[in-house]
Amino acid sequence: MSILITHGKIVTASEIFEGDVYIEGEQVVAIGKNLPYQADWVINATDKLVFPGGIDLHVHLSLPFMGTFSSDDYTTGTRAALFGGTTSVIDFIIQTQGDTLHNALKTWQEKSIGKAIGDYSYHMAVTDFNAEVAKEVVDFIEKEGITSFKTFMAYKGALMIDDGQMVQLMQVLKEHGGMITVHATNGDMIDSLIAQHRSEGKLSPLYHYLSQPEVTEAEASARFCDMLYYTGCPGYIVHMTCEGALNAVRKATQRNQKVYVETCSQYLMLDASLYEQNFEGAKWVMSPPLRQKKDQAALWAGIQQGLVHAVGTDHCPFMWEQKKMGLNDFSKIPNGHPAIEHRMEFMFSEGVLKGHISLEKYVELTSANAAKIFGMYPRKGTIAPGSDADIVIFDPHKKHTISAASHHMNVDYSAYEGWEVTGKVETVLLRGNVAIENNDCHLEAGFGKFIPRNKATMHF
Ligand code: URP
Ligand code: ZN
Ligand code: ZN
C-alpha cells in the first residue's frame, strides 16, 4: 500500500516544511514539494498540520496497583492513544519483589502480544535489586531491547528500593549503556505524613495532596541527581510536578550534569484546588499530586529553557467504583488518572496556541525527545525517509469538548469533563496503515508491535 499526503504543513522537531510525504509499506520514502509519485491513496492535507505520531513515554496499562488493576488494557489503551494521535507508548513492567525480571517480562508479554493495537515498548521497573537481578538487567539491555529501568523512591513495601540498591543499579547501567528513571519522592516522609493524617481523622482526598508536599519531591530529585553525579549514570526523572524538583535539576546542571526530565500534561494544566471538593477530588488522586499555579509556570519555563525534555501522561485510569475503594480513606484511593487520549491535543491547545511553545518544540516534547532519550530515533519521533510512517494529520482550527461520553479510554469519568480544546487529530497512520480516519479505528488488536530500543546515548 502506498500513501501520498499532499500540501501539508509538515512539522518535525527541527523544521517546518510545506509539502508532501510519500509512504510505501510501513515507511516514509520521500518528503518534498509536488512529489512525482502515484499512490494507492492520496490525502489532501491543505491547511492541516502533519506531525510525527505521538509517543507517550509514561503509561500504565493493566497495572496491578493498590489492590486493583488500571482499567485500560493494551487493546483499549493503545486504541484510545491512537484516537488522540499517540502511535507508540512505553508501559512499565513491574518486578514483583522477590521474583525475577524475566518472570515480570513474561507477564507483560501476555498482556500485550496479540492485544496491542498501537506500537509499544516497556520500561523495566526494578523493585528488588540484587546480584541476580543485576545479571538480568544486562540481559535486558543486550538481548531484549529494553534499555530503561524504572525505580521508585516511594511506595515502600511494594515498589520502593533503597538508596544503596539505587546506586548499585546505576553502576550496572552506567557500565552497560542503560538509562535509569525514577519516581522521585521521599517515600518515608510521605508514609509518615499519611499515617499522621489518618490518625487525626483527616481522610478526604485533600490529605493525599497534603501528605506529599513539594519538599518531598524536591528532596528526592536532588538526592537522585547526587547519586547520578557520583555514578555517572544517565538518568531521567518521570512525572516532575514542581518548581522545587526542577530547581534540583537546575542546580545539577551547574556542575555540568545532564539529567533528563519528563512532566505530564496534567501538571501543566491542572492545580491542587481540585482537591478541595469532598470525594470528587479522587478523580485527581495521583502521585505526585497536582501542585500550585506557580509550579505550572515553573514547568512551562523549564520547557522553554530546555530543562524539561518530554511530556507524557502517566496514564493510569481507574473506574469510579475503583476510586471508591478510598471513599473513607484517601490512602486507599488507587493513584492515577486517565489522559492517554488527550495529550497531543492538550499540548497543542494549551501549549502552542497559548504561546508557551513553538510547533517544533511541540514535536520535540510529544515524540522526538522520547524517541531520542529512549533509543527509538529515527525509527520513531520524526518524519524522514526510512522512518516508520507514524503520522498525525491535525486540524489546528477545529474546536471540541472533552467528555467521558465521547472519549475512548476504558474509564467512566473524564478528569477534563467540559474542557474546550482547539485542534483535533483527524487522520492517524501507524507504520503506513490507516489507524484513525473519520472518527473510527481501522486497526485490530494484535497490530501493535513491540519496539525494541537501543542503548542510552547522551548525544542530543
Ligand atoms: O498516580 C500514579 N502516578 N499512578 C501510577 C504509578 C506511578 O507512580 O507512576
Ligand atoms: Zn510514579
Ligand atoms: Zn507512572
Peptide bond into 378 cis (omega under 30): yes
- Secondary structure class of 149 (helix, strand, coil): strand
pLDDT tens track for 299-350: 999 999 999 999 999 999 999 999 999 999 999 999 999 999 999 999 999 9
To test ligand 1's pocket by mutation, which of 60, 181, 190 has the most ligand atoms within 8 angstroms of CB?
Answer: 60
Residues 70-82, mean pLDDT to the nearest whole number:
99
pLDDT tens track for 330-344: 999 999 999 999 999
Q: Return the pLDDT at 457.
A: 76
Contacts of 399 (CB under 8 A, 6+ apart): 420, 421, 422, 424
pLDDT tens track for 194-204: 999 999 999 99
Distance 314 CA to ligand 3 centre (A): 5
Distance 331 CA to ligand 1 centre (A): 13
Which ligand number lies closest to the CA of residue 92? 3
Q: Return the pLDDT at 169.
A: 98
Q: Return the pLDDT at 228.
A: 98
Ligand 1 contact, 286 CB (< 6 A): yes
Q: Return the pLDDT at 199.
A: 98
The atom number, within ligand 1, closest to the CA of 335 reads 1
Q: What residue owns the CA closest to ligand 1's atom 5? A: 336
Q: Return the pLDDT at 458.
A: 65
To test ligand 1's pocket by mutation, which of 181, 316, 323, 411 has the most ligand atoms within 8 angstroms of CB?
Answer: 316
Ligand 1 contact, 432 CB (< 6 A): no
- Secondary structure class of 395 (helix, strand, coil): strand
Provide the H-helix boundaries in 84-205.
Answer: 101-112, 131-139, 163-176, 187-199
Distance 262 CA to ligand 2 centre (A): 11
Task: Write the CA distances from 399 to 52, 186, 345, 417, 422, integer angstroms.
Answer: 21, 41, 10, 15, 4
In angstroms, the CA 44 to CA 239 distance is 37
- How many C-beta atoms lie closer than 10 Å to residue 201's C-beta? 7
- Mean model confidence pLDDT for the chain: 97
pLDDT tens track for 131-147: 999 999 999 999 999 99
Q: To 10 degrees, what angle do helices 131-139 and 163-176 make? A: 30
Angle at 316 between CA 312 and CA 322, to 5 degrees: 160
Ligand 1 contact, 70 CB (< 6 A): no
Q: Return the pLDDT at 459.
A: 60
Residues 399-418, mean pLDDT to the nearest whole number:
98
Distance 51 CA to ligand 1 centre (A): 28
Ligand 1 contact, 263 CB (< 6 A): no
DSSP 65: E
Residues in the chain, total: 460
Q: Rounded to two decimals, what is the model's pTM?
A: 0.98
Distance 38 CA to ligand 3 centre (A): 44
Residues 4-28, mean pLDDT to the nearest whole number:
98
Question: What percent of the chain is predicted at pLDDT more than 90?
Answer: 99
- How many C-beta atoms lie closer than 10 Å to residue 260's C-beta? 22
Provide the H-helix boundaries in 274-325.
Answer: 293-304, 320-323
Ligand 1 contact, 266 CB (< 6 A): no
Q: Return the pLDDT at 460.
A: 62
Q: Answer yes or no: is pLDDT of 456 > 90.
A: no
The C-alpha cell at 188 is 518515608
The atom number, within ligand 1, closest to the CA of 58 reads 9
Which ligand number lies closest to the CA of residue 283? 1
Ligand 1 contact, 343 CB (< 6 A): no
Q: What residue owns the CA closest to ligand 1's atom 2? A: 336
pLDDT tens track for 432-444: 999 999 999 999 9
